[in-house]
Structure 1
Amino acid sequence: MTTQNHPPQIKIRAIYMRGGTSKGVFFHVPDMPLPAQQPGAARDAILLRTLGSPDPYGKQIDGMGNASSSTSKAVLLARSTQPDHDVDYLFGQVAIDRPFVDWTGNCGNLSAAVGPCAIAMGLIDPARIPQDGLCTVRIWQANIGKTIIAQVPISNGQVQETGDFELDGVSFPAAEVQLAFMDPADEGEDGGAMFPTGQVVDQLDVPGVGSFAATLINAGIPTIFLNAQDLGYSGRELQGDINGDAQALARLETIRAHGALKMGLIQDLREAASRQHTPKLAFVAPSASYTASSGKAVEAQDVDLLVRALSMGQLHHAMMGTAAVAIGTAAAVPGTLVNLAAGGGERSAVRFGHPSGTLRVGAEARLQDGRWVVAKALMSRSARILMEGTVRVPGDCF
């Protein structure tokens, strides 16, 4: 028997964190191998191998991923190159069954972990960190070119991670991290693309599927909102009601692809297959009582509306943070499907029901020169370091 020489594994410093209802592997860019310190194939290959993708079994057994879009994520942090910002934050959504990393959008849930992680990595000037109180971390979200301001709780000069803030979709309470997504609408090159078609409600024609009223919005993350009833749903669905139905998922993906085309995010329907992270597809319904995935009873009077959203082709177990920004922004604009599902009128905040429970998000919208403008969207999440040290990947993986 002959022995073939294989390269050893290499170590890369990393922090494994929960942020909101997501988990990801966080890297400090200078700690990565030199070829991966710049965008490109080497970086993608290392992130794929770290998470355990592509995995034809869909389990990510040989990596840090946990076989869901919420847990197959990577974050790259560095000292900010932007004026008046502390940290540059780049997010990669790592596909599970394909060799693909999607860099087209942000992760709002992991945004809550960026401030605490930046402090842990020593990226924040110690003079800026109070002995007790809140540390303001100004984050440059490099995927979408937007500012996020995080208020990170500090106790005895250290990030306070434990607490009594409860977040539906997360098993245990933790400390609250307040987030402000500044100017969350994507203004685009033409200076006004929060609603890329110029309408708050469009008719989305999907050949072979149907024609749907739709609100197409660029805020937090590009999102297509539909009425649940038009899809044959109630808005009370849990993951098991949809994710086991291959025909339904294919139908929803077809709708998403046509929505992406109408939003100008792709030029050909075939491009949607390589742009899974954006846009998101969500459907809304008026408030109603239902039982959340945890068994918790959500009463109709406790929410303004119901929202279900898909991420990477599957119904999300709770709600993506960036989609929550889109929900809050759309709710603040009279006449959108989100606003109408919540009862219409002027709103600066909504509490919506999702598969794991409820979430409150705020946004203030105003008409300026004939177009809608949103200064910021607000919500609270929590974050916690789960493990820190080094990840190992085969030395020939990139």
Structure 2
Amino acid sequence: MAFLPQLRIPATYMRGGTSKGVFFRLQDLPEAAQVPGPARDALLLRVIGSPDPYGKQTDGMGGATSSTSKCVIIAPASVPDHDVDYLYGQVSIDSAFVDWSGNCGNLSTAVGPFAIANGFVPAARIPRDGTVAVRVWQANIGKTIIVHVPVRDGQVQETGDFELDGVTFPAAEIVLEFIDPSDDEGDGGSMFPTGNLVDDLQVPGVGTLKATMITAGIPTVFVDAAAIGYDGTELQPAINEDKAALARLEAIRVAGALRMGLIRAPEEAATRQHTPKVAFVAPARDYVASSGRHVAAADIDLNVRAMSMGKLHHAMMGTASVAIATAAAVPGTLVNRAAGGGLREAVRFGHPSGTLRVGAAVASVDGQWVVTKAVMSRSARVLMDGAVRVPGDTL
């Protein structure tokens, strides 16, 4: 039997926020993978090392968590007044599936530095020292993200003293602006697809729960932690080692997806693992983060825990942070109530790895709430660049 040599594909391995993934320029992919379809999915699955029944992704670039099983494809902008198109693929760990239904807010941070380093931003716009506003078209959801990247001596500044809970080492601060982050997908045509700030959500096998369902940043179903037996200070082992808890939370996700009009039948949820997210919220309370650091209730507005690809996230997804900021700014949502109610332009919430401050600008227009912008700070860094290799029979 003849065995084909491995394919060598230029790539960059990057951390963005509390995630990391393999970044490609569209032009560098094999021709069959330069368009959406089975060939592209097969390539990214093999790059990451999925599907892996052992759940380790040992024979690929993935890190065996939802935060580290990701790929990004960058191309010249297809939309005027933007620098690049950014396409994100969430790669399943144990099944042959790539979810293209949403964005990764954390890896959005790395898109700006990647665009500058790879010549997508005109040299005339890059100062010797200062900041470059990279305008990114998020192609999965059709939204604009502005990534403010610090530059020193004409190059992307990666090192710095900005600390991000969930990331061990400091780096340079990158400010993200998510412009008009509400996603109109679903039946409602607004960022509250049911038309309500709080709904009674009937969840088979669980019961009826109060829920705030929102599509800002990423479709998210918020429930009160107390309603499902938690206090909002839980760390990963408390959830991820409890199969019954994971099943209940997945049932909530499926019920929410149906109610939001994202799927038409429960079985469709299996083809949409990345969205919607499920998060549970609670009033501020002291806890010890996964790093061992004490988080005081006085230093946060509320606690939030969120599920990603069927597991409790080790920190907080960037897109879910946008949903948190937006829901917190709208009086009457479960998130706003957990934060103490009232009008607020920003919140600091506790998550398993520590805290994060996020802001959102919202307004009531013709009886409907709209969000114009959400802002947060993250960091990014190139971990390795060169080429990734995959067996020649992958495509």
Same fold (TM over 0.5): yes
Equivalent position amino acid for 2:128 in 1: Q
Q: Is the 8 A contact 1:309 1:315 kept in 2?
A: yes
Equivalent position amino acid for 1:396 in 2: D
Choose which of 237, 241, 244 in structure 2 pairs with 1:244.
241
Instruction: Provide the C-alpha distance between the structure 2 equivalents of 1:340 and 1:209, rounded to a whole number of angstroms.
Output: 23
Equivalent position amino acid for 2:154 in 1: G
Choose which of 286, 293, 298 in structure 2 pairs with 1:301.
298
Aligned to 2:231: 234
Choose which of 354, 358, 379 in structure 1 pairs with 2:355.
358
Aligned to 1:290: 287
SS at the partner of 2:362?
strand
Choose which of 309, 321, 326 in structure 1 pairs with 2:323.
326
Aligned to 1:122: 119
Choose which of 158, 163, 167 in structure 1 pairs with 2:160.
163
Equivalent position amino acid for 1:274 in 2: T
Instruction: Provide the C-alpha distance between the structure 1 equivalents of 2:129 and 2:384, rounded to a whole number of angstroms.
Output: 24
Pairing of 1:41-190 with structure 2 (within 5 A): 41-188=38-185
- Identify the range of structure 1 (100-109 vs 120-129) with the bigger mean alpha-carbon deviation: 120-129
Aligned to 1:276: 273
SS at the partner of 1:323?
helix
Cα distance, 1:121 vs. partner? 1.4
Structure 2, unpaired ranges of 5+? none
Change (3 A) 1:274 1:395: same
SS at the partner of 1:180?
strand
Identity %: 69
Residues 1:15 and 2:12 are matched in the alignment: yes
Instruction: Provide the C-alpha distance between the structure 2 equivalents of 1:186 and 1:94, rounded to a whole number of angstroms.
Output: 22
Choose which of 40, 45, 51 in structure 1 pairs with 2:37.
40
Number of equivalent positions: 395
Instruction: Provide the C-alpha distance between the structure 1 equivalents of 2:187 and 2:239, rounded to a whole number of angstroms.
Output: 38
Equivalent position amino acid for 1:84 in 2: D
Cα distance, 1:147 vs. partner? 0.2
Instruction: Report Cα offsets for 1:215-238 as digits up to 9, x if no partner.
Output: 000000000000000000010000
Aligned to 1:384: 381
Cα distance, 1:122 vs. partner? 1.3
SS at the partner of 2:381?
strand
Instruction: Provide the C-alpha distance between the structure 2 equivalents of 1:72 and 1:125, rounded to a whole number of angstroms.
Output: 31
- Aligned alpha-carbon RMSD (Å): 0.9
Instruction: Provide the C-alpha distance between the structure 1 equivalents of 2:189 and 2:40, rounded to a whole number of angstroms.
Output: 33
Instruction: Provide the C-alpha distance between the structure 2 equivalents of 1:195 and 1:79, rounded to a whole number of angstroms.
Output: 33
Change (3 A) 1:138 1:25: same
Residues 1:215 and 2:212 are matched in the alignment: yes
Instruction: Provide the C-alpha distance between the structure 2 equivalents of 1:37 and 1:207, rounded to a whole number of angstroms.
Output: 41
Instruction: Provide the C-alpha distance between the structure 2 equivalents of 1:22 and 1:207, rounded to a whole number of angstroms.
Output: 33
Equivalent position amino acid for 2:39 in 1: A
Instruction: Provide the C-alpha distance between the structure 1 equivalents of 2:128 and 2:288, rounded to a whole number of angstroms.
Output: 42
Cα distance, 1:120 vs. partner? 1.5
Instruction: Provide the C-alpha distance between the structure 1 equivalents of 2:114 and 2:155, rounded to a whole number of angstroms.
Output: 12
Instruction: Report Cα offsets for 1:34-82 as digits up to 9, x if no partner.
Output: 0100000010000000000000000000000000000000000011010
Instruction: Provide the C-alpha distance between the structure 2 equivalents of 1:165 and 1:192, rounded to a whole number of angstroms.
Output: 38
Instruction: Provide the C-alpha distance between the structure 1 equivalents of 2:367 and 2:232, rounded to a whole number of angstroms.
Output: 33
Instruction: Provide the C-alpha distance between the structure 1 equivalents of 2:185 and 2:12, rounded to a whole number of angstroms.
Output: 34
Cα distance, 1:192 vs. partner? 3.6
Q: Is the 8 A contact 1:237 1:308 kept in 2?
A: yes
SS at the partner of 2:215?
strand
Equivalent position amino acid for 1:106 in 2: N
Residues 1:200 and 2:194 are matched in the alignment: no
SS at the partner of 1:55?
coil
Instruction: Provide the C-alpha distance between the structure 2 equivalents of 1:125 and 1:190, rounded to a whole number of angstroms.
Output: 40
Q: Is the 8 A contact 1:192 1:371 kept in 2?
A: no
Instruction: Report Cα offsets for 1:341-368 as digits up to 9, x if no partner.
Output: 0000001000000000000000011101
Cα distance, 1:395 vs. partner? 1.0
Equivalent position amino acid for 1:9 in 2: Q
Q: Is the 8 A contact 1:87 1:138 kept in 2?
A: yes
SS at the partner of 2:112?
helix
Q: Is the 8 A contact 1:14 1:28 kept in 2?
A: yes
SS at the partner of 2:113?
helix
Residues 1:311 and 2:308 are matched in the alignment: yes
Q: Tell me the TM-score normalised to structure 2 length.
A: 0.99
Q: Tell me the TM-score normalised to structure 1 length.
A: 0.98
Equivalent position amino acid for 1:226 in 2: V
Cα distance, 1:188 vs. partner? 4.2
